[in-house]
Structure 1
Amino acid sequence: MLRSAVRLATSTPSLYERPIRRVVSDVSKNLDRALTLVRKCKRRSVLHRVVSITSATDFRKLFNLLDASVGDMRWLLSIFDSVGNNGDIVLSLPPIASNDPILSWVWPFVATVQMGQLPDRIEAANGLASLAQDNDRNKKIIVEEGGVPPLLKLLKESASTDAQIAAATALFNLSNDQDRVRMIVDEVGVPLIVQVLGDSPMRVQIRVANLVSRMAEYDSIAQEDFARENVIRPLVSMLSFETFVDDSKLQSGKPSIHSLVQINKEMERDSILPSNHHHRRYSSSSSLHLEGSSRGGNHRKEREAEKPEVKLGLKTSCAEALWMLARGSVLNSRRITETKGLLCLAKLIEKERGELQVNCLMTIMEITAAAESNADLRRATFKTNSPAAKAVVDQLLRVIKEVDSPSLQIPAIKSIGSLARTFPARETRVIGPLVTQLSHRNQEVATEAVVSLCKFACPDNFLCIEHSKAIIEFNGVQPLMKLLRGNERMQLHGLFLLCYLATHAGNSEALEQARVLNALDGADRSVTGQHPELRELVSKAIYHLNLYHAGIHPQR
């Protein structure tokens, strides 16, 4: 059997070595034990034989070990014989896997994915996907036993949709941990995944977009690498598929909308550029974009003929991938806006419902959060005369006012708050809907409305005085006073907003009628005590209110 294993190893291309190395290592140790025992039994002096006594128990233990080695070798050869002869996948328990039975599943599956015929490789990939779905320990073993490279190779199998789906599903199930995602990245998986995403049938694109989303969610390195490989452009292209076909604005000839329709052509043009990924030691990584670039439009007719639910699934997956790519990344958020993705997201928020609408709102929330932290992105993307910015704001306000769903209203409210610095003083239409939400029955919605209004009224906002007056004019004081009786987070942000209003518009009769001064005097010491800046702000607000109530205006 050892001779057969040697012939197998020397004659089989792309041999899966993990089980061979493990089994042969154990066999070698057991043969060494046998040799040591035999040497003890050689005829020597009486004294030596007395000192080194060999019992029948030693022989029984050795025979058991050798029997286990015979069983392991027989199982190993049956695995590779099955793979080579296109037979059924062997799923039996060898002695070596008695303490870890999952190996008796993982090894045959990985060997078949790497070395088998295409139908068997698909079946084995589905088997790995099922094992990975069970628990994290199975995922760890699959990765440790070399399951990632053959799955990536199968994903590249463009001749078989089922093979690509099976491989993408298995990789997706493995990718819920940073270390495992990093293994896929280290195997130069990112350029390959991007290539498959841009040139595959819709059913494959859905699974691959899910994989992009999962990897970007769990690993910042993968998030950066995907953006470097220009994954955002095909994602936006697929998200915008058929979005503007029936839009009357398409006939108006506005360049911003027309450019969105051209994203597919731009994507195909860009896809011929070679990747400059940092894994240059792999010659294949620089040519992945070249492979299949001539096939860029092969699936266009199939896309148009697909069922509506498949098209919806693709858009939902792409929106989630963009959300994960934009999360916490100014650079990726800028890339999305440069592809005219904002217009597409705004249109989908308007037209769609359900998970797709949620994913689009969450993507907008991440982009606006990035714009809040980066002045350059904020000024470049959310200019007052930008059609894309106007479309986004219109839809955010519509969701806040018309949609009674916290899962949609909360990201919309957060997005408006992140854009607080971009609104001029005359743009009071964004203040009213936020003030209305202060009375929302859902405490989280009401709290987020307070947080967003704080960004309008805080001193960091150049127009804080004008915005504070607008909040009072929209009758925001009374509902704000009620929020002071809520939970600790609600009280905290409510006190901040009250202090801003008192400091910037302390002469308002609404503040006096609502007895804001008494409320600040009796502010919960447990809340202000944990936040020294709030304690100082409360004192300043009380000072301003006392001056105005006494008819004296503070010097500025």
Structure 2
Amino acid sequence: MSSSPEGKRLEEELSYPILVAERVRSAIEESDSFKLECSEVWKQVERLLQMLRTVVRFAANPPLYERPVRRVAAETAKNLERALTLVRKCKRRSILHRVVSIVSAADFRKVLGYLEASVGDMKWLLSILDGDGGIIVSLPPIASNDPILSWVWSFIASIQMGQLNDKIEATNELASLALDNDRNKKIIVEEGGVSPLLKLFKEGTSPSAQIAAANCLCHLANDLDRVRVIVNEAGVPAVVQVLSDSTIRVQTLAANLVSRMARHDPVAQEDFARENAIRPLVTLLSFDTSVDEQFGRQSIHSIFQINKELGKKTDYRSAGTGSRQFANSYSNAYYYTEGSSRGGNHRKERENEDPAVKLQLKVSCGEALWMLAAGSVSNSRKITETKGMLCLAKIIEKEQGELQRNCLMTIMEITAAAEFNADLRRAAFKTNSPPAKAVVEQLLRIIKEVDSPSMQIPAIKSIGSLARTFPARETRVIEPLVAQLSNGDTDVADEAAVALTKFASPDNFLYVEHSKKIIEFDAVPALMKLLRSNEVNQMHHALTLLCYLALHAGSSESLEQARVLTALEGADRTILPQHIRDLVSRAILHLNLYHAGRNSQPMSYLP
């Protein structure tokens, strides 16, 4: 038999109340007073003794849901101890003992009440164990103050010990309870609900059962502690197994579960990467997504580069006419890298599925990749190693709505990781890399053409994160950022200032060339307007960029015409963070080298 979290075997939990009941029998036989009351006690104790022995027989034939058995056995043992203490007082002893140990009829009524409650608990417990796994909705006395507890016990018992239909019904009921509030979720997890749910989820005997289990697990996985329980119950490999080879609707929920768990628990996030969850997610995301056009625009050299990354050989004689065939082989590589038994079992079903269902699968996979990449260099690297960036770029180009946004957010997280990791930056965002080029093309298109801050801001963030990867000649990435400095949405304009600062910062090897280009694209007037922002952070970002431009391109006439020196002198008289104040002072000194002798009044840039 399995051990409880406290280390006690179930056999020991059940043997103790049986031992106490036998002691009650002996004490009653030795009693000298309250014979009638003692006989009533024995009637209840005898019933409990018979039921405890029946439970022992059930415990010898797993599977058995132990949680309520342990709770009821422990409570029964307490009540039997009360009966034993009372009955022992009825044995004739010295006069002093009889004076000190006064027994009344009220004491027997109280003990009989306790024993009757235990009989009710045992009846309820046996109805669960002997009910063929059906749902029992009656309320045992032990849970009279908290009915949810008995419902949870009954549902989990059905999931663990019932027939398939009972399991599905009980899982749906448990999911409904979990949906109500976090307290119910906590009870479900504490009472051992995660393990049978995972078992039902990964068995694969019924898609309906898997869907029900996945729904319930998704409801539970909205908190670090509960997600950690799922992880500790070997939930990560179970989810990856289902994700790799199940029906499309089950895979959708498995992807949702990946997303939930990765969002709330960094341990789960890394475990999913270790279990190679990223590959099936990219596979499913790229299903039915053509990359033909993307490759059709590539040169022979570009095709060779991608081919080399895939470990294949390019036939140069057919590269011009066969790029479409190569693109197809690139796309198909997703499906067969893991072997046909994993990604391919349900491919035909996916092809014939309702487009809305296929779309939801992709939406879920996109979100899962987003959550896995968030703040994780290793996961971001794995996505780029599975050639997922090309697929993400294509979806951003062709799709709309939630799917497009999820893929864009995934790119944002990958580029954020690359910003602070030189190895990832060099590997995934080489200037001649076709996937990197495709990503940048789509980011720029979003910035220029999509009038939606929720899309523009992550695209701008991504370009800013890649600032150190662009050569001096790559001026096309700077112009659209400068244009967004004048965006009517101040958040978009502010994000553009932050991104351009990464181009003009001394951390960027090409900061002088980039600074000159930023000024050339007429950024200074727009920055002067941002200085008057009512939002302090926006004002500080614009001021920081303006200082870098002054330091690195101080001789520019645009700076003098816009009266930047005057604005900086006005800023120097206001309350600023120390690092910005130091930057402003340096910029003023530098500009004075070029604008010395100008007699002007400080310009107020504050509202």
TM-score, length of structure 1 as denominator length: 0.91
1:373 and 1:79 map into 2 onto residues whose CA distance is 57
Moved more, 231-240 or 171-180: 171-180
Q: Is the 8 A contact 2:152 2:174 kept in 1?
A: yes
Residue in structure 1 matched with residue 563 of structure 2 by the alignment: 515
Q: 2:333 aligns with which of 259, 262, 271?
A: 262
Match of 2:201 among 140, 145, 155: 155
Distance 1:254 1:337 in 2: 22
Q: Which residues of 2 match residues 143-542 of structure 1 at below 5 A?
A: 143-244=189-290, 247=293, 249=295, 252-253=323-324, 258-268=329-339, 294=341, 296-486=343-533, 487-523=535-571, 527-528=575-576, 531-542=577-588
Determine the C-alpha separation between the residues in 1 that align with 2:337 and 2:207: 25
Report the counterpart of residue 62 of structure 1 in structure 2: 111
Q: Residues of 2 paired with 1:245 and 1:507: CA distance?
A: 47
Q: 1:295 to 1:352 in 2, by over 3 A?
A: closer
Q: Secondary structure at the match of 2:337?
A: helix
Distance 1:248 1:473 in 2: 32
Would the aligned equivalents of 1:260 and 1:340 in 2 still touch at CA under 8 Å? no
Q: For 1:363-395, what per-residue CA distance to the aligned partner results, in whole angstroms no more than 9, with x for missing partners?
A: 000000111011111111111111111110010
3-state secondary structure, aligned to 1:439: coil
Contact 2:336-2:344 within 8 A present in 1 as well? no
Residue in structure 1 matched with residue 605 of structure 2 by the alignment: none
Distance in 1 between residues matched to 2:331 and 2:356, nearest whole Å: 23
* Distance change (3 Å), C-alpha of 1:339 and 1:507: same
Deviation, structure 1 residue 523 = 1.1
* Alpha-carbon distance between aligned partners in 1 of 2:264 and 2:343, rounded to the nearest angstrom: 30
Secondary structure, counterpart of 1:324 in structure 2: helix
Shift of 1:315: 0.5
CA distance in 2, matches of 1:255, 1:512: 55
The equivalent of 1:282 in structure 2 is none
Structure 1 residue 524, shift from structure 2 partner = 6.6
- Structure 2 CA distance for partners of 1:72 and 1:421, relative to 1, 3 Å: same
Larger Rg: 2
Contact 2:291/2:394 (CA < 8 Å) preserved in 1? no
2:444–2:459 CA contact under 8 A, matched in 1: yes
Which secondary structure state, in structure 1, belongs to the residue aligned with residue 229 of structure 2?
helix
| Contact 2:550/2:559 (<8 A) preserved | yes
Mark the CA change 1:257 to 1:327 in structure 2 (over 3 Å): closer, same or farther.
Answer: farther
Amino acid at match of 2:172: N
Q: Which among 177, 189, 193 is matched to residue 131 of structure 1?
A: 177
Instruction: Measure, in 2, the Cα distance between the counterparts of 1:140 and 1:169.
Output: 16
Tell me the CA shift for residue 255 of structure 1: 5.4
Secondary structure of 2:485's match? helix
User: Could you tell which deviates more after superposition, 438-447 or 247-256?
Assistant: 247-256
Aligned in 2, Cα 1:524/1:315: closer, same or farther, shift over 3 Å?
farther
How has the CA–CA distance of structure 1 residues 473 and 238 changed in structure 2, closer, same or farther, with 3 Å as cutoff? same
1:93 maps to a residue whose letter is L
Secondary structure in 2 aligned to 1:102?
helix
- The 3-state SS of whatever aligns with 2:204 is coil
> Residue 143 of structure 1 aligns to a residue in which SS?
helix
Greater displacement, 251-260 / 435-444: 251-260
Measured after TM superposition, the shift of residue 92 of structure 1 is 1.9
Give 3-state SS (helix, strand or coil) of 2:150's partner: helix
Secondary structure of the structure 1 residue equivalent to 2:205: coil
- Check whether the contact 2:160–2:196 (CA below 8 A) recurs between aligned residues: yes
CA distance in 2, matches of 1:306, 1:119: 25
SS of 1:335's equivalent in the other structure is: helix
Comparing 507-516 with 543-552, greater Cα deviation is found at 543-552
Computed over aligned residues only, the root mean square deviation of the Cα atoms, in angstroms, reads 1.7
- C-alpha change, 1:227 and 1:364, in structure 2 (3 Å) is same
In structure 2, the gaps of 5 or more residues are 1-50, 297-321, 599-607
Q: Tell me the distance in 2 between the aligned counterparts of 1:501 and 1:137.
A: 55
Q: CA 1:255–1:492 in structure 2 vs 1: closer, same or farther (change >3 Å)? A: farther
Letter of the 1:201 counterpart: T
Flag as ranges the 4+ runs of structure 1 deviating above 6 A. none
Distance in 2 between the 1:257 and 1:345 partners? Answer: 16
User: Quick one: distance in 2 between partners of 1:440 and 1:257?
Assistant: 40
Q: Structure 1 residues 296 and 379, CA, compared in 2 at 3 Å: closer, same or farther?
A: closer
In structure 2, the CA distance between the partners of 1:490 and 1:515, relative to structure 1 (3 Å rule), is same
**Equivalent position of 1:5 in the other structure:** 55
Counterpart of 1:40?
Answer: 89
Does the aligned pair in 2 maintain the 1:244–1:261 contact within 8 Å? no
Contact 2:373–2:380 at 8 Å: present in 1 too?
Answer: yes
**Does the CA-based 8 Å contact 1:259-1:340 persist in structure 2?**
no
**Do structure 1's residue 80 and structure 2's residue 129 form an aligned pair?**
yes
Q: Distance in 1 between matches of 2:417 and 2:557?
A: 38
Aligned twin of 2:309: none
Task: Read off the aligned partner of 1:191 and give its amino acid letter.
Answer: P
* d(CA) in 2 for partners of 1:93, 1:179: 29
Query: 221-230 vs 258-267, which deviates more?
Result: 258-267
Q: Secondary structure of the residue that 2:571 maps to in structure 1?
A: coil
Q: How many residues align?
A: 522
| 1:157 shift after superposition | 2.4
Residue equivalent to 1:90: 136
Q: Deviation per CA, 1:341-384: give whole Å up to 9, x if none.
A: 00000000000000001100000000001110111111111111
Give, in whole Å, the separation in 1 of the partners of 2:448 and 2:94.
100
Q: SS where residue 198 of structure 2 aligns?
A: helix
> Aligned letter for 1:501?
L
Query: CA 1:187–1:432 in 2, change beyond 3 Å: closer, same or farther?
Result: same
SS in 2 for 1:243: coil
Partners of 1:511 and 1:144 in 2: CA distance: 65
Give the deviation of 1:140 after TM superposition. 1.2
**Aligned-partner Cα distance in 2 for 1:230–1:180:** 22
Q: Distance in 2 between matches of 1:249 and 1:537?
A: 46
Instruction: Compare 111-120 and 297-306 and name the one that shifted more.
Output: 297-306
Note closer, same or farther for the CA distance 1:480–1:325 as it changes in structure 2 (3 Å cut): same
**Tell me, which stretches of 5 or more residues in structure 1 are unaligned?**
270-293
1:475 shift after superposition: 1.0
AA at the equivalent of 1:206: T
Structure 2 CA distance for aligned equivalents of residues 117 and 141 of structure 1: 24
